[in-house]
Amino acid sequence: MPDIRKKIKLAHSTSTAPAGSSLIKFPSIGGAFRFFLNQHPDKPFLTYFEGKVKITSYTFEQFDERCRRFGRFLTQAGIKQGDRIATAGTNHPDLILLYFTAWRLGLSVVPINLGEDDHRLHYILEHAKPKLVAVLNEDQSRIKSLNPSVPVVETGKMHAQKEEEFTFDDALNRRNQEAFIVYTSGTTGNPKGVILNQVQLLVDSWFISDWHNITPADRFLCVLPVHHVNGTVVTHLTPLMTGSSIVLLKKFSDEAFFDIVKTEEITISSVVPTLLQFLIQSGKSGKLKATKLRHLICGAGPLTVELALKFEDKFEIPVIHGYGLSETTCYSCFLPVDQNKAEHRSWLSDYGFPSIGVPLPCNEMDIQDDYGKSLPEGEKGEIVIRGHNVMDGYFLNPDANKSAFEFGWFRSGDEGFFKTGKDGQKYFFITGRFKELIIRGGVNLSPLEIDEVIGRCPGVKAGIAVGFENDWYGEEVGALVVKSDPDLTETEVLDFCKTQLPFSKSPKVVLFTDSLPVTSTGKYQRNKVKLLFAEFKETQFRGK
């Protein structure tokens, strides 16, 4: 695979900074934490809420003490530098402690999304081969049943260790050490493991921090799941780059969001479009005007012009739209934060799609055709990215690497175009996805997986999953079905799918047809039938 490695290395470069250039001052994530620990040990680092109730809070020094307990436990369990551990659970300080402990030890973390079905979780544990899985207490039994050969440890046991006998060598240069393998859904079934090292995590979070003018006085609110790069990179590593404080919420609710933004003096938060819709529908327009919240970062799902403007009109808080993927660590571009209101609104609304903004200085973006040739302004093509935040590749997946890095850039699979602004910068837009993933609430869903379930439903001759535009989740899941039983009803299809899939993946609407749209080679043309579901754009579908 030397040719692929060479192309991946090219994709780690920019025109001004070749691969390996030092763009950050810290030797490691541990080095960054140690720097701010020494500066202000008594400053709050991580505060945790369940609903409106504050459960716990750690200063930098207290967080370090808990990391040392976790580190002692892991080393006594035989975990050593270069090993992988998996983590599973809902948002909780123990998961953040595990991340930081692992990175300070030179370990790699494989975050598990418990919203996935058992088949996929079993695949991830088999594929990544972690030395142990650390879980919150309530999730032990499920994880143990997935892969009995991998030891499962409840995180509460780690708190019981003695920390004074254990220290980290945070001065070690761990930049090129594998730090994260994040499994992301694909259209071909099994998820792909995105390999990120410490330098990629550091670089992306550093430049996100700089872009948003983060200072030590800022307080981040984390409402997104920490098994996702957004919840990890934006709202945990980004504040670390300036020694800022983090407030972690177990689960989003609009009531808790409004309350905590005010009482905890939150200045910035990262959300997905789904959450903007929930805040709009809350009817509490005045709740943010008297707070210190200066803007919201928004990405990880389809944002419509209508939703962006509706939110800003209601709350008078700017939405800083951006774009990125797990494969580029997290964000690759944002709208500028220092534009006047007219400029900002123009880029959100004047081109049919809200602009995803301008590339962060640590990477470059382009629009290319199928042969790696750059396309001119306004012409649609594939969004490609290269730079110091681009992944090391897909874990044990040479075919996916060959396709993704074919021309020395990372090929996103997303369609887009760019326009040049008055400031001379290229402003990018995303218009669709070549890969046909359904992005519901910022989470990638594989339509082929859902196709399989629809096809197994009694009375179905053929059927496909279709991601259609929805104000609540960006996209929702619909099913287009050809009957074999003329008496088959929509309710029967929906009920069958609910027995096979979690609510997030289950179709919410079924439309019947005489034939499915296919290409000459037999591939389904999902995008051609999205408009059939247009009447359900404003519908909020609720699970029981």
What are 175-230's pLDDT values in tens digits?
Answer: 999 999 999 865 457 899 999 999 999 999 999 999 999 999 999 999 999 999 99
CB 284 within 8 A of CB 254: yes
Measured CA to CA, the distance from residue 308 to residue 345 in angstroms comes to 9
Q: Is residue 451 part of a domain?
A: yes
Asked whether residue 522 carries a pLDDT value surpassing 60, the answer given is: no
Measured CA to CA, the distance from residue 191 to residue 512 in angstroms comes to 30
> Residue 233 has what DSSP assignment?
I
Over residues 88-121, the pLDDT tens digits come to 999 999 999 999 999 999 999 999 998 888 988 9
Other CB atoms within a 10 A radius of the CB of residue 527 amount to: 14
> Which are the contacts of 2, defined by CB distance < 8 A and separation ≥ 6?
none
Asked whether residue 501 carries a pLDDT value surpassing 80, the answer given is: yes
**Amino acid 544: pLDDT:** 66
- What tokens does 461 get? 């001759």
User: How many helices, marked H, and strands, marked E, lie in the chain?
Assistant: 16, 25
- What tokens does 145 get? 């049943």
Domain count, the chain: 1
Q: Is residue 312 part of a domain?
A: no
- What tokens does 251 get? 């689960």
Asked whether residue 25 carries a pLDDT value surpassing 70, the answer given is: yes
Taking alpha carbons only, the member of 95, 281, 109 closest to residue 198 is 109
Q: Is residue 375 part of a domain?
A: no
Q: Is residue 205 part of a domain?
A: no
Mean pLDDT over all residues of the chain?
93
Pairing of strands 178-184, 192-197: antiparallel
Distance between alpha carbon 281 and the CA centroid of its chain, in Å? 24
Beta strands in 227-334 (DSSP E): 245-249, 268-271, 295-298, 319-324, 331-334
Q: Is residue 477 part of a domain?
A: yes
CA distances from 494 to 395, 489, 505 (A): 35, 9, 11
The larger pLDDT score, comparing residue 283 to residue 397, is at 397
- What tokens does 534 get? 């247009």
Would you give the end-to-end CA distance of the chain in angstroms? Answer: 49
The CATH number of the domain holding residue 471 is 3.30.300.30
Q: Is residue 453 part of a domain?
A: yes
Beta bridge partners, 268, equal 220, 295
Beta strands in 284-378 (DSSP E): 295-298, 319-324, 331-334, 358-359, 363-368
CB 113 within 8 A of CB 120: no
Over residues 398-448, the pLDDT tens digits come to 999 999 999 999 999 998 999 999 999 999 999 877 777 798 998 888 787
Q: Is residue 479 part of a domain?
A: yes
Measured CA to CA, the distance from residue 481 to residue 258 in angstroms comes to 42
- What tokens does 539 get? 């519908």
At 519 the three-state DSSP class reads: coil
CB 377 within 8 A of CB 420: yes
CB 462 within 8 A of CB 482: yes
Measured CA to CA, the distance from residue 497 to residue 182 in angstroms comes to 27
Measured CA to CA, the distance from residue 394 to residue 392 in angstroms comes to 7
Q: Is residue 450 part of a domain?
A: yes
CB 365 within 8 A of CB 339: no
Length of the chain (residues): 544
CB 518 within 8 A of CB 474: no
pTM beyond 0.85, yes or no: yes
Measured CA to CA, the distance from residue 434 to residue 445 in angstroms comes to 14
Instruction: Name residue, tokens 């609720």.
Output: 542
Domain span at 493:
438-536
31-44 mean pLDDT: 98
CA distances from 517 to 174, 513, 530 (A): 51, 10, 11
Give Dmax over CA atoms of the chain in angstroms.
Answer: 72
Over residues 317-343, the pLDDT tens digits come to 999 999 999 999 999 999 999 999 999
Measured CA to CA, the distance from residue 288 to residue 304 in angstroms comes to 22
